[in-house]
Amino acid sequence: MNIGSAARAAGLPVKTVRYYADIGLVEAPDRTQTGYRRYDEAAVRKLAFVRRARDFGFSIEECRELLSLYEDKSRSSADVRAIAAAHLEEIEEKQRQLAALRDELALLVTACRGDDRPDCPILDRLA
């Protein structure tokens, strides 16, 4: 199938498929005599794999590692788990940071009178 069909099947924009090939995340198939790339089902599965990994927030480099493990039939699931566990810790840390920001902003919004006076604890905190 051509790149447009492969991109649709994987749930990605064509531009993203090209980008992934340009950075070596997925291998671009050789060109036919007419100059088009023909993607097979295995290539589409890899593209969809990367899309789902990115949906989980894995970085390009983490996707590269996960894809390598996916293709390695002698892999250890412990290696995959380690990458996922580290990413989960990053997500949980971001959640803690966002919760702290939310709490602080909620206090500031509550403290601001929101009237015609110029004093504003929100602007004071930002300054």
pLDDT (tens digit, 9 = 90+) per residue, 17-37?
A: 999 999 999 988 888 888 888
Given its phi and psi angles, is residue 76 left (phi above 0), alpha (psi -120 to 50 degrees) or beta?
A: beta
pLDDT (tens digit, 9 = 90+) per residue, 50-100?
A: 999 999 999 999 999 999 999 999 999 999 999 999 999 999 999 999 999
Q: For the whole model, what pTM was predicted? A: 0.80
Residue with tokens 């051509």: 2
Compute how many other C-beta atoms are within 10 angstroms of the C-beta atom of residue 44.
20
The CA-CA-CA angle for residues 75, 79, 83, to 5°, reads 135
CB 14 within 8 A of CB 36: no
